[in-house]
Amino acid sequence: MIPKSLVEYITEDATMRQALEKMNFHRYTAIPVLDKEGKYVGTLRNDDLFDYFLKQGNFDKVMADRVPLSEVLNRSYQKPLLHSTSMRELIESVKEHNFVPIVDDRGCFIGIVLRREVLNYLLKYFEDK
């Protein structure tokens, strides 16, 4: 697991422009979104941003500076897993997502597991057999 301190994320009170800039800088197609208390809120995807701009009919930097992520974020897209989740559940989740957000018992974001890490684990597991 990559701990929160090493993960790029954005807070839900950020604007679309801030999210776009951060995602572009890091070359991300998705980024975790947290609330002020550090709880996982959702995963913002490029698709969420594209959908918003398509519905608006244009891309306007000024507008992007005023629109909070709460208007754009699809909160039901990716559910986090508990830190105590089973490997089976983790594998099921990485089949659908490039990374899986991990939370503690209070719902606070503690990090992510990358699909690549799970595949490397599985590869090592099967090579050892």
| Domains of the chain by residue range | 2-127
2-127 domain in CATH 3.10.580.10?
Answer: yes
State pTM to two decimals: 0.88
Residue 35, Cβ density class (10 Å: 0-12 exposed, 13-18 middle, ≥19 buried): middle
Count other C-beta atoms under 10 Å from residue 81's C-beta: 17
**Average confidence (pLDDT) per 10 residues, the chain, 129 residues:** 95 92 94 95 92 82 83 87 94 92 96 94 81
pLDDT of residue 75: 82
Distance (Å, rounded) from C-alpha 122 to C-alpha 87? 10
Count other C-beta atoms under 10 Å from residue 15's C-beta: 18
Helices (H), the chain: 16-26, 46-56, 61-66, 87-94, 115-127
pLDDT of residue 78: 87
pLDDT of residue 129: 64
